[in-house]
Structure 1
Amino acid sequence: MNEPVDDPDEGVLELRVEQLRREAEGVLSVTLADPEGGLLPAWEPGAHIDLERPGLVRQYSLCGDPADRSTYKIAVLRERDSTGGSAYVHDELRPGDLVEVGGPRNHFALVPAERYLFIAGGIGITPILPMIGAAEAAGAGWRLAYGGRRRETMAFLGDLAGHGGKVDAVVEAEHGPLDLDALLGAPQDGTAIYCCGPGGLLDAVEERCAAAWRDGALHLERFKAKTFAIDASAERAFEVDCARSEITVPVPADRPIIDCLDDAGVAVPTACREGICGSCEVKILDGVAEHRDSLLSRAEQEAGRTLMVCVSRSRTERLVLDL
């Protein structure tokens, strides 16, 4: 029996590219496997992995079958203004190449519900695919509204066709954008909403749900960080007490917590440094955080149990963290 592949020191796997496949115009799927044929760490719908190379880490949602422990599958959109991640996958990656992979991690987990409303825009369909499988297996009701600019750019339409009327594929060039007012105008008890896609879509869905739906009904995953209006002149210094390390780290007004911790020798995993991947999430023991991440829900931020030390700061003069 194959044993799960794992690196207990770094949590980074070296996997081999098994297959590259064109899923739509500008979208390439990548299938990864252990070179020795071992089982990969288990994951659940909503999870993502880090694709790593020197000086570059990018997060991609797993879109394959969680029951298949032999491979991971991701899909990558070629970004027009790529900073290296999508260009690397599309232009350089080839079958047989070895790549370093971190994770999987899941901050977009599928909660139990009677019904699900899935809303996807473009490449945001990737985390939704295994969620649909899980909803089907649980016997829950569901529907998907999947929007894209042109039919040729919408990945996995063929895979979704078998679900019939549960899937509404809306091609903007033919029918206009998703009708969010119709989708979200009438709140439904027992329905969980899962949305992934461009920032504009997520902002619009978030606005409508905040006005009408119960707290906790909406679950979002962002590929890019929110834009925060920050007055640099109003930033202030504070101290971070690392409870387990028994170290106090001063954080100047113009430096992020993660950099100051690193200078003090307090190691915290980090990948995106934008507050979207969750790798640097740390438990708060005392103090009040100034949350600037794009990952925690509003309720989670208000609860104040954790923060992302790559982007968030402190509202209090002292912040005690479980480090």
Structure 2
Amino acid sequence: MAISRNDRAFGISKYGIELQHTLGGFVSSVSGGEATADVVTERLGSDHLTKKHLGNVKYEDITFKCGSGMSEQVYQWIATGFNQTSQSRGREDGAILYADYDNNEISRLTWTFGLITEFTMPALDASSKESAQMTVKFSPETTRKTWNSSGKLSFPADSGRQKKWLPSNFRLRIDGCEVGCSKVSKIDALTVKQKVTDNAIGEHRDHQKEPTSVEVPNLVIYLAESHADEFFNWHQDFVISGNCGEEREKGGTLEYLTPNLQEVLFTLNFYHLGVFKVSPDKASAEPGTPEKGPDAPSPIRRVKVEMYCEDIKFAFSAAAMYGGR
């Protein structure tokens, strides 16, 4: 009778993030970070065989998703990741930890000098009941994968009890448009991108990463047409009348709230907002049509307001961190 081996595959059920040897919290998903190299094809030789060799080693960008309940260090990394005047420019060493259901660490992906290249805050919808998550993408200079790690992930006891973050709980303020902002029902996702370039060093195979520029998204909101007078007037003056100087641009804030609407988790501060388009939102079928029937209520007429933005700053509160310090 054959003797069976006791080798079993293992399952990964939890992902943790570590910054500067400090556990920062659980993340819902993670991808990337693999080492790779370009294959260089040489010119055909006398033997009619194409020679190939490897170029410089490269490391894929790492992407993870998380919500509230992370450590202060994780949120601070995000807050400084696009700061053009910061000396650190958001560079962090850290690791992605892969663990089983019992928090036993199975493996880890360690990186050095991670530079944030993309940060996305989710779309907001007053009717949504799903959990909200932010997405962080960063470019490491090097990564190393290790297996058969020992020990447990020892996060603080309350780190698993994250405050639920819903995309329906938000508060928008734009200077001079306070009434209209109180009636905003949806806001498109906001993604800030930072371009990086490789700085090759002749004696090293690994390239250093240097940031070059930051791309700031437009702010796109949806609200009832009946409460959009402030935005129509701003559009008339700013776009049609041509009074679009810097002094006519506006500032604003977007606050992400806890379910009880009493605490602020995260804040986005907008600088130099300028409206450039106000248009009707996609209309649905009117009452009396076969799609809805004769007794269906009239749909609310909504408008879509699009504004450019020159800069966005991310801030977090104690309520967003585990422990609520």
TM-score, length of structure 2 as denominator length: 0.22
TM-score, length of structure 1 as denominator length: 0.22
With a CA cutoff of 8 Å and minimum separation of 6, indicate the structure with the bigger relative contact order.
2
The structure with more helix, counted as a fraction of residues: 1
